[in-house]
Amino acid sequence: MAEQPRIGFIGLGIMGKPMARNLMKAGYSLTVHSRSRGPVDELAKEGATKAGSSKEVAQKSDVIVTMLPDSPDSELVILGKDGILEGASKGLTIIDMSSIAPASSIKIAKACEAKGVDFLDAPVSGGEPKAIDGSLAIMVGGKKKVFDRSVPILQKMGASYVLCGDYGAGNTTKLANQIIVAANIEAVGEALVLAKKAGLDPNVVFEAIKGGLAGSNVMNAKAPMMIAGNFKPGFRIKLHQKDLHNALLTGKDLGVSLPVAGLVQQMISSLMTNGKGESDHSAIANFIEDASKTTISGK
C-alpha cells in the first residue's frame, strides 16, 4: 500500500459526510458513494471523485471507510451485488464504522478474509458535533496489525481510537456505550421533569448538579437541548432504537440480563409510534414529559 492510501468512503449521512470531509482536509484522495446524490455532489465540488457503486469505489481505493445505518446495509454494501468485495483486490482494507450487530461484523470479516481483504469494525460515539470537529471516540475490533496500519486514518476522524479485541469487539463496545448513553439521557429527562414540576428552573438545577457526581458528557450535551426544547437530530431516536435492539439480541445470545436497556427501548418504541423517530435521542425526555403532563422547556 502506498504511503498515502487512496480512500473510498461509502455512506454520507449526518455522520459520514463530515467524517469524509475531515479525511479530505487531511490531504487524502477520496472516492465517494452514497444512496443520496446530494452529499456526493457536494463533496465532489470540494475535490472528491464520484463513484456509481460500491464495487467501483473498491476498484479505485486502497482503504474503504463505510458509515451505514444498520447490519443489513453493511452486509449489502460489502457482500452484496456490485458490493465492495466484488471490486476488491487482495490487500484492500475495509473499515466499517457503522454501528451494527457484532455477529454481523464477524460474518463480514470472515467473508473478507476469504478474499484476502482486511477488515475492522470501528463504530463511533460523539454524534454530529464530534464528527464535524474530528473528535469522535472510535471503538475498534480486528487484527492489531491492521489497526496499527489504520491509525493515521482513524486519528483524522477521532480523538480516541482503541482496539477492543478481535472482530465484533468494536461493535460490542459500542453497544455497551449505547446502553450507558440511553440510560443517562432517560435519567436526565426524569430529573429535569421532576425539577420543573416542583417549580424549579431547570437551568438552575442543571448548573447546580453538572459539576457533581451526576455530571457527565451526556448531561452536558443533552440537558441544554431538553431545556430549550430543541430536538434537532444529531443522533436520531430511530438509530438508538436499532442500537438497543442489537444490544438486547446480543444480551440474549450471551445470557446477560439488560433490564434498563429493555425499559428505555420500550420508551423509544412508544416515541417511534408517536412519529418522533427522526428527533434527536435527547427527545427520550419527551416520554417522561408526556407521562407527567409537563414540559421541561415550558413556562
Which member of 55, 130, 174, 222 is catalytic?
A: 174
Query: CA nearest 9: which of 80, 98, 86, 82?
Result: 98
Q: All 3 cell numbers of residue 56? A: 467501483
- DSSP single-letter state for residue 284: G
Distance CA 92, CA 1 (A): 9
Distance CA 240, CA 261 (A): 11
Query: Is 174 annotated in the active site?
Result: yes
- List, as one string, the DSSP characters of 210-267: TTSTT--HHHHHHHHHHHHT----SSBHHHHHHHHHHHHHHHHHHT---HHHHHHHHH
Distance CA 92, CA 192 (A): 49
Distance CA 129, CA 224 (A): 14
Of how many residues is the chain composed?
Answer: 299
At 136, the amino acid letter reads: L
3-class SS of residue 8: strand
Distance CA 92, CA 106 (A): 17
Distance of CA 191 to the CA centre of its chain: 26
Residue 43 · residue 17 · CB < 8 Å: yes
Distance CA 201, CA 195 (A): 7
Catalytic residues: 174
